[in-house]
Chain A
Amino acid sequence: MISTLSAAALLLSSCAASGQGSVAAPLAGPTVTGAVVSAPLVAAPLEASFVRHEVVVEAAAPAADVLAVRAGHLHMADGSIVEDGVLLVRDGLVTAAGADVAVPDGARVVEHDGHVSAGLVAAYSAGYLPRDEANENTRAYLPDGRVVHGFDPELSALEDALEQGVTSLLLAPGTSQVVGGRTAVVKTSGGRVVTPNAHLALSMGAPAASTARTPTSYAGIVSGLDARFADAEGAYAEAKSGNLGLLTYVSARHEVDRALRLFERHELKGALVGPTLAGELAERIRASGCSVVLPNPPLVLDERTHDAMAALFEAQVPFAFWLSDPHEFRASAIVALRAGATRAQALASITSTAADIARVGTSVGKLLRGHDADFVLWSGDPLEFTTSVEAVYVRGELVHTAGHHGDDQ
């Protein structure tokens, strides 16, 4: 088994190194199942061109090949922590997780004294596309732009993120387009696209009112969006019906207010990305059904930002953090904890809630049967600054160990 895994690992790294060509995907049962599970239910089928990025773990081993992880502390999907828990992985998916889980004979066992949690998920990221891919400056409305076309699995930033425990992240168009296109969720290792069509990305922030092109004003942004959502077609119709998510960049409070009023007019809801002081409008955001993706807060919060975050938590608004510098990503959740979030809320903001906001909550972000086996072995409690990553698994494969990459343990 070890040799097979090494071979698979080699295969993985050689594919990653070449960045080209597809690996012939045997359409045996588990792989197909995997593919179906990881794609959200969308009207538009997965286009064939994406197979190029799909590096499928060679399921050459027999079906009885199971990985069992014995964890000193296992972080469950519901937010609880199980002491001496067991996680079972087969064919890249979680088959069981919890306290009383039997390890089948012949399973490969990994013992880990510390904590094991789901791989971290970023519900928004900046800097994980090649430089020019995130800004389409020629047109303000590009509903069918797909940012996944700009995805480059070779980007070193992805490796940096992986090393900090981030296994999935959302790619979004830049904030200078009113309608930037469709966001995508990708894995940080192996180039897998979890979904090429997560949300329709909007921007109602200052960069979207540009003097380089129309609209140049907030009124222009609003009237453009009102017109498109009123007689909604295509992506707008999909967003309205809920088939496609909605992700809106806003920063100042009046921009949040403007977005909420627009949503109300068209019965929309989605994720609001970027408003640091969103908490000052917590009740209204809660009532609207929207979630919030916050920029990385500073380690020491000033009173105002602290109070705003606390209000958001109290109002039970689903929140996540955006990923730019991967070292700050997990720290954001710790800062949230210190600002009054519960442990469950804090860890969920970089795992399960983030996955839900990114519309991939049925396949990543949780250690739950049927989800992708993306998990991290931590040296300690992931909500402590002193903790570090010891190993990262994506789809059940060890893809990173602290100190080296891709080696077997």
Chain B
Amino acid sequence: MLLGTAPIAAATLAAFTLGAGPATDATLAATTVQDDDGPRTSWIVTADEIHTATGRVIEGGFVRIGDGKITAVGRGKIAGDFHVAAITPGLVECSSGLSVGQRSVEQDSESTPHVSVEEGLDLFSTRWERELRRGVTTACVAPDDRNVLGGLPVVVKTGGGEPTMDDRVIKTRVGVRAAMGSEPSAGNSPVFGRAFGLFNRRPTTRMGVEWVFRRTFYDALRAQQDDDFTFEGVETVNQVLAGELPLFIQAAPRQDLMTALGLKAEFSIPNVVIDAAAEVIPEADAVVASGASLIFAPLEFDGTASVEGAQLPWNAPAHMAELGVTFALSARSTGNADYSLAMQPAHAIRGGLDPVKALEAVTIVPARLLGVDDLVGSIEQGKHADLVFWSGAPFQYTSSVTGVMVGGELAVDPRHGEEL
């Protein structure tokens, strides 16, 4: 039960098998002991299929892990600590929503592009364990979409080590978060005619949302020209304009998507990622022309996205793949097991997406969009030992996640299905 790629010839495999000797290197089996206290972080795992997300599938191979990093991946029959049917890289969730909620976004202004969500994390929450159990080893947390420009997301590991900022946060200043749509305007009321309070301000409509966005970017452009003019966050906005920081814009329904792409064009923002993408097919040409990347809203059985009730047909990822658009799948850390990130590729495959692209859309592509592809997102030497173990071919309805490893720690043990 392959994902569709043919196994590669032994000769090229030898070149690909990084760091390991001949296929039956018995010495590999020996050294999995570690010195320090704490959970074990060195292993050898064998599998019938290893989907590395580098474009190759290894049949009958092994992954060697040392001190939480991948030290070797290759083909061959060796004695390992345990054997599983299939291995994929740990899943990378681009749009998790696992912040502390409304206290993750500073609402003293609708435009706070400079505020990092680092202080809006609760690393002790049990939701991280649930994500980890379902195969997600890396997640991006953004400020809640109550502001038009909410601030700077961070990338967090869902497990491994202690729940401290040092152990878990692997990247800050991932980009800038923006939202079109109704969420930023909800809760505001008109400036005139009522008692004054914090939320008597724009925007109260989508029009207002766009206005706030454009005002911020116009101000940044103005600040570039006028030395006497500045505002809090101007450096961050300028970095977005220069393409140094990606801009993640939530835009699910068609009109929000068009607004977002329009703003991208208006300010020539080089690096834009549309989050909660849903109604992209009707505007496929515009999406392609803009060069934006996408993070899809979770695919659901009734064909609508949970964001703004937008339409999300199952073939949307496949259609975008045909057009060469870069996209990731996401699950927004939903509580519903049928729509989790481990299930999204199966739904996309059902909608016609190529299985290899489906795997990449939850591993290396999100890692690249978040700028952490040097650390996670594929099974390659030197990267974090984040692995998901499957009961059969991955991303099939008849397969399940039986084990999860993060940073070399076995969070869910496929041997007994229990958490260590």
Contact = CB atoms under 8 A, between A and B. Distances in A.
Given A223-B115, A254-B100, A257-B164, A216 B123 contact: no
A343 interface: no
Interface string B103-146: 11111100000011111111111000000000000000001000
A144 to B, nearest CB: 23
A216 B124 contact: no
Contacts of B105: 216-217, 219
B331 to A, nearest CB: 23
Nearest to B105: A217
A320 to B, nearest CB: 24
Contact of A253 (B103, B119, B124): B124
A126 B121 CA distance: 29
Given A223-B115, A252-B124, A258-B119, A217 B103 contact: yes
B151 interface: yes
A219 B115 CA distance: 7
A253 B108 CA distance: 25
Contacts of B117: 219
A216 B106 contact: yes
A206 B103 CA distance: 8
A219 B118 contact: yes
- Chain A contact residues (Cβ within 8 angstroms of B): what range? 20 to 34
Interface string B344-368: 0000000000000000000000000
Contact of A214 (B118, B121, B125, B198): B198
Nearest to B166: A261
B165 A211 contact: no
Contact of B198 (A212, A253, A257, A258): A212
B399 interface: no
A252 B121 CA distance: 12
A139 interface: no
Contacts of B103: 206, 209, 216-218
Contacts of A218: 100, 103-104, 119-120
Given A216-B198, A219-B115, A257-B164, A211 B107 contact: yes
Report which residue of A206, A211, A217, A253 has the largest number of chain B beta carbons within 10 angstroms of its beta carbon: A217
Contact of A222 (B102, B119, B151): B119
A213 interface: yes
A215 interface: yes
* Main DSSP-derived SS at the B contact region: loop
A257 B104 contact: no
A220 interface: yes
Interface string B185-199: 000000000000111
Interface in A188-232: 206, 209, 211-223
B199 A211 contact: yes
Interface in A258-283: 258, 261
A211 B198 contact: yes
Interface of B: 100, 102-108, 115-125, 143, 151, 164-165, 197-199
Given A217-B104, A257-B124, 13 more contacts: A209-B103, A211-B107, A211-B199, A214-B106, A217-B105, A219-B104, A219-B115, A219-B119, A223-B106, A223-B115, A254-B100, A257-B123, A257-B165
Interface of A: 206, 209, 211-223, 252-254, 257-258, 261
What 5 A-B pairs come out closest when comparing CB atoms? Answer: A214-B108, A254-B122, A219-B119, A216-B107, A220-B106
